[in-house]
């Protein structure tokens, strides 16, 4: 699964593994600066480096279309 996650990440933005409790592959990263945008652990999700406009707070890249 981790190998497939890496392959998909080469072609797609915001790839993460779901329903898998591993130390890697769960988070969503900024495609520009690789900052953690969304931190996932089990059933818990936390916005890390995303402002209310959907921009990465580290580099300013627009990364999400809508945040509730």
pTM of the predicted model as reported, rounded to 2 decimal places = 0.67
Strand order in the sheet with 36-41: 28-29, 36-41, 44-47
38 located within any domain? yes
- Is 9 inside a domain boundary? yes
Q: Is the pLDDT of residue 41 over 60?
A: yes
Q: Average model confidence (pLDDT) for the chain?
A: 82
Sign of CA dihedral 37, 16, 7, 10: negative
What pLDDT is recorded for position 68? Answer: 47
Residue 52 lies in a domain: no
At 22 the pLDDT is 67
Does residue 68 form part of some domain?
no
Please tell me the predicted confidence (pLDDT) of residue 5.
Answer: 76
User: Does a structural domain hold residue 59?
Assistant: no
25 within domain boundaries: yes
Enclosing domain of residue 14: 2-47
Total domains in the chain come to: 1
Residue 61, domain member (yes or no): no
């Amino acid at each position: 699964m981790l190998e497939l996650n890496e392959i998909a990440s080469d072609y797609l933005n915001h790839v993460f593994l779901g329903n898998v409790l591993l130390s890697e592959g769960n988070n969503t990263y900024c495609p520009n600066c690789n900052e953690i945008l969304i931190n996932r652990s089990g059933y818990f999700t936390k916005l890390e480096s995303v402002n209310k406009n959907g921009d990465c707070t580290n580099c300013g890249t627009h990364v999400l279309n809508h945040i509730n």
